């Protein structure tokens, strides 16, 4: 074997190791349309929700999606290779983020769309109706779909499946979502109408906006066992005043926002809101807009989440045998006093020390399904790094799986911790810990306001050099302490040493993960001209503590790095 081949093999092995470890740290037939008969082949006539018809001579090979929900459907149908353009908001699944961007939802780049030479464009929503005519004038084929109920969402899977040549995949998707919905409906079927709580959906705060009966969200609330307090209004979205909200006095408020604590606080401070029943009883549910605002494949998941909040006694789940596939999740379970329920973990679950004695079922990326099955778990909790095909297999085998997203800030770390606490029945303990750590966090961050802002480089991999981007909670931690991440502007974690030399950071933080920290520090210290080296400010940080955040470990790390930045 030639030297280059040996180097390439080493590089491949190293990259696999870095991906396994580093990513931990950088750790969803319409009633108004005309259904097409199953099995119908091309050419075919397709009708959209505006009653427009276009002829498709063959299945499109180049598709531009102008809505996140359409993008999700296309990817779930296995059409990811045929999607050539998406909007800036098409962030799920993760692979969609790599597609060519054609602008925002309401401010589309017409030139870019045409430049991509699509065979078909899928549009959505009232705001995009004017765009259709402009695109047609340029010779483009556009179909506009806008479902107003869950039934229409399910039918849309079939409609898009037919026009893209994927009817069987569409049927499988529809049936999968239908099964989840039926499971919820069966559990709540005996709940009388007067026991189904009224819901106010916040769709904007200044001024307040909400949804009426023409919104599919209203139908989601109904199926989940609730009632939209404005379901008598035959509109999709509309502004509403506090007098109308107060008159109906909703029992539950549903909001969306990345920072759920701030969103809840803002709701409580809005004029007239503090006297609402939902606010007085703190019945405010935060659910990701990516989940609830998109009429797509994750509709069943949204219904499950809302139903669980509305009727916790019916949907209560208290697992006794848990397998955790994320180091942070494992540590959080131990902090919640549920470590004795853990029967399996990954090889990276090393904190606390008791976790090392648990049965190993793989890495955070690759798992041993047979080993998991042998442990007979009630629940398997996963991260975005867990192989999606193996997760799907677990679900097909009847294993309950709950996926936790990668937190991007302290608020999301707390939200994840609270969600896990609810699963194991430790919500009260979790809220107490969150409140204490929030006080400590606010106190530390407050101290940085008048201090200097050091330029920082965070190294989490070597050969090639790997760092953290702006979407990571590590970047959030650095910026919260007044630091400036010199790599915050890059799209991927790959970074060159030449660029580090050029930007000349004040501080270098080496995260020991798959690399020998001392060796890397010595490598940097050979470059005497670097400001961080001259001032003896090259530090080694424990990856287990930094890259597997819990509310407690986050604030501990915050204190440690504060001393590094501002000592």
Do 237 and 345 sit in the same domain of this protein?
no
Q: Is residue 425 part of a domain?
A: no
Per the CB < 8 A criterion, the answer to whether 90 and 97 are in contact is yes
Do 165 and 197 sit in the same domain of this protein?
no
Q: What pLDDT, on a 0 to 100 scale, did the predictor assign at position 424?
A: 86
Do 454 and 543 sit in the same domain of this protein?
yes
Q: What pLDDT, on a 0 to 100 scale, did the predictor assign at position 211?
A: 97
Of 37-46, 68-77, 145-154, the poorest mean pLDDT is in: 37-46
Cα-based distances in Å from 447 to 339, 420, 435, 561, 565: 35, 31, 19, 13, 12
Joined tokens for residue 309: 């909040």
Do 550 and 489 sit in the same domain of this protein?
yes
Q: Per-residue confidence at 492, pLDDT binned at 50, 70, 90?
A: confident
Joined tokens for residue 294: 């998109």
Q: What pLDDT, on a 0 to 100 scale, did the predictor assign at position 36?
A: 39
- Cα–chain-centroid distance for residue 133? 34
Count Cβ atoms below 10 Å from residue 559 Cβ, excluding itself.
Answer: 14
Q: What pLDDT, on a 0 to 100 scale, did the predictor assign at position 90?
A: 96
**Last residue of a domain, which of 123, 145, 175?**
175
Q: Is residue 3 part of a domain?
A: no
Q: Is residue 74 part of a domain?
A: yes
Q: Per-residue confidence at 238, pLDDT binned at 50, 70, 90?
A: very high
Q: How far apart are CA 360 and CA 381, in angstroms?
A: 14
Of 215-229, 289-303, 309-323, 476-490, the poorest mean pLDDT is in: 309-323
Average pLDDT over residues 242-265: 87
Q: Is residue 421 part of a domain?
A: no
More confident residue, 149 or 272: 149
Q: Per-residue confidence at 272, pLDDT binned at 50, 70, 90?
A: confident
Of 84-93, 309-318, 516-525, the poorest mean pLDDT is in: 309-318
Q: Is residue 534 part of a domain?
A: yes
Do 170 and 195 sit in the same domain of this protein?
no
Beta strands per DSSP E along 427-567 = 455-459, 484-485, 507-512, 538-542
Joined tokens for residue 494: 């790959």
More confident residue, 143 or 269: 143
Q: Per-residue confidence at 50, pLDDT binned at 50, 70, 90?
A: very high
More confident residue, 530 or 398: 530
Using a pLDDT cut of 70, give the percent of the chain over it.
92
Do 275 and 170 sit in the same domain of this protein?
no
Q: What pLDDT, on a 0 to 100 scale, did the predictor assign at position 14?
A: 42
Query: For the chain, what is the domain count?
Result: 4
Q: How far apart are CA 152 and CA 331, in angstroms?
A: 42
Please spell the DSSP secondary structure of 338-381, one letter per residue: -GGGEEEE-TT--SSGGGGGSEE-B-SSSB-HHHHHHT--SEEE
Q: How far apart are CA 490 and CA 230, in angstroms?
A: 45
Winning range, highest mean pLDDT, from 10-14, 229-233, 430-434: 229-233
3-state secondary structure of 434: helix
**Last residue of a domain, which of 149, 175, 201?**
175
Q: What pLDDT, on a 0 to 100 scale, did the predictor assign at position 508?
A: 94
Q: Is residue 135 part of a domain?
A: yes
Angle at 466 between CA 461 and CA 471, to 5 degrees: 120
Residue 104 has pLDDT above 90, yes or no: yes
Q: What pLDDT, on a 0 to 100 scale, did the predictor assign at position 38?
A: 42
Do 51 and 170 sit in the same domain of this protein?
yes
Q: What is the pLDDT of residues 443-484, one digit of tens each?
A: 999 999 889 999 999 998 777 888 988 878 888 899 999 999
Q: What pLDDT, on a 0 to 100 scale, did the predictor assign at position 29?
A: 29
The enclosing domain of 502 has a CATH number of: 3.40.50.1980
Helix, strand, coil in percent for the chain, rounding step 5: 45, 15, 40
Beta strands per DSSP E along 488-529 = 507-512
Domain of 273, in residue numbers: 190-308
Q: What pLDDT, on a 0 to 100 scale, did the predictor assign at position 445?
A: 92
Q: What pLDDT, on a 0 to 100 scale, did the predictor assign at position 513?
A: 57
Q: Is residue 294 part of a domain?
A: yes
Residue 7 has pLDDT above 90, yes or no: no
Do 219 and 129 sit in the same domain of this protein?
no
Do 392 and 475 sit in the same domain of this protein?
no
Average pLDDT over residues 343-364: 93
Do 380 and 295 sit in the same domain of this protein?
no
Residue 214 has pLDDT above 60, yes or no: yes
Do 329 and 380 sit in the same domain of this protein?
yes
What lies within 8 Å, CB to CB, of 421 at 6+ separation is 336, 427, 429, 430, 431
Do 52 and 140 sit in the same domain of this protein?
yes
Residue 438 has pLDDT above 50, yes or no: yes
Winning range, highest mean pLDDT, from 4-18, 341-355, 539-553: 341-355
What lies within 8 Å, CB to CB, of 226 at 6+ separation is 196, 197, 198, 199, 252, 306, 310
Per the CB < 8 A criterion, the answer to whether 481 and 561 are in contact is yes
**Last residue of a domain, which of 134, 151, 175?**
175
Q: What pLDDT, on a 0 to 100 scale, did the predictor assign at position 34?
A: 35
Residue 63 has pLDDT above 70, yes or no: yes
Q: Is residue 364 part of a domain?
A: yes
Per the CB < 8 A criterion, the answer to whether 299 and 293 are in contact is no
Q: What pLDDT, on a 0 to 100 scale, did the predictor assign at position 264?
A: 78
What lies within 8 Å, CB to CB, of 174 at 6+ separation is 154, 157, 158
Q: What pLDDT, on a 0 to 100 scale, did the predictor assign at position 340?
A: 94
Joined tokens for residue 13: 């092995």
Q: What pLDDT, on a 0 to 100 scale, did the predictor assign at position 471?
A: 79
Q: What pLDDT, on a 0 to 100 scale, did the predictor assign at position 8?
A: 45
């Amino acid at each position: 074997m030639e030297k280059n081949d040996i180097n390439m093999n080493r590089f491949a092995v190293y990259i696999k190791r870095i991906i396994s470890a580093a990513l931990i740290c950088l750790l969803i037939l319409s009633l108004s349309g005309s259904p097409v008969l199953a099995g119908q082949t091309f050419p075919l006539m397709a009708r959209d929700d505006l009653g427009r018809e276009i002829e498709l001579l063959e299945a499109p090979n180049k598709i531009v999606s102008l809505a996140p929900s359409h993008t999700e459907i296309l990817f779930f149908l296995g059409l990811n290779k045929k999607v050539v353009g998406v909007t800036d908001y098409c962030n799920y699944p993760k692979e969609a983020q790599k597609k060519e961007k054609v602008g925002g939802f309401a401010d589309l780049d017409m030139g870019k769309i045409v430049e991509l030479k699509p065979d078909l464009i899928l549009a959505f929503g009232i705001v995009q109706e004017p765009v259709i005519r402009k695109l047609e004038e340029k010779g483009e084929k556009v179909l506009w779909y806008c479902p107003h109920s869950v039934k229409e969402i399910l039918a849309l899977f079939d409609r898009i499946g037919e026009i893209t040549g994927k009817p069987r995949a569409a049927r499988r998707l529809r049936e999968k979502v239908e099964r989840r919905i039926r499971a919820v409906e069966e559990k709540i079927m005996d709940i009388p109408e007067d026991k189904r709580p009224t819901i106010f959906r916040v769709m904007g705060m200044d001024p307040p906006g909400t949804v009426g009966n023409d919104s599919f969200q209203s139908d989601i609330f109904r199926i989940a066992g609730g009632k939209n307090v404005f379901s008598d209004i035959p509109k999709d979205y509309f502004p509403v005043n506090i007098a109308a909200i107060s008159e109906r006095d909703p029992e539950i408020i549903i909001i969306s926002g990345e920072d759920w604590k701030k969103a809840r606080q803002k709701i409580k401070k809005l004029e007239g809101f503090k006297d609402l029943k939902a606010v007085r009883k703190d019945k405010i549910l935060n659910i990701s807009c990516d989940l609830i605002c998109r009429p797509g494949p994750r509709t069943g998941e949204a219904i499950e989440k809302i139903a669980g909040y509305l009727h916790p006694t019916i949907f209560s789940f208290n697992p006794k045998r848990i397998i955790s596939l994320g180091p942070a999740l494992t540590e959080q379970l131990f902090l919640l006093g549920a470590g004795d329920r853990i029967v399996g973990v990954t090889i990276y679950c090393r904190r606390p020390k008791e976790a090392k004695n648990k049965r190993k079922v793989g890495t955070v990326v690759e798992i041993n399904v047979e080993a998991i099955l042998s442990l007979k778990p009630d629940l398997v909790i996963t991260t975005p790094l867990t192989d999606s095909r193996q997760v799907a297999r677990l679900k097909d085998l009847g294993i309950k799986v709950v996926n936790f997203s990668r937190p991007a800030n302290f608020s999301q770390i707390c939200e994840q911790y609270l969600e896990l606490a609810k699963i194991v029945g430790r919500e009260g303990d979790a809220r107490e810990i969150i409140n204490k750590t929030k006080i400590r966090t606010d106190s530390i961050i407050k101290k940085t306001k008048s201090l200097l802002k050091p330029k920082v480089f965070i190294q989490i991999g070597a050969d090639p050099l790997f760092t953290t981007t702006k979407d990571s909670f590590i970047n959030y931690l650095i910026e919260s302490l007044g630091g400036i991440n010199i790599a915050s502007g890059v799209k991927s974690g790959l970074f060159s040493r030449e660029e580090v030399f050029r930007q000349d950071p004040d501080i270098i933080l080496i995260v020991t993960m798959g690399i020998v920290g001392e060796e890397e520090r010595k490598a940097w210290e050979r470059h005497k001209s670097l400001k961080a080296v001259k001032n003896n400010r090259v530090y080694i940080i424990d990856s287990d503590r930094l890259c597997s955040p819990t509310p407690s470990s986050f604030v501990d790390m915050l204190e440690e790095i504060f001393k590094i930045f501002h000592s």
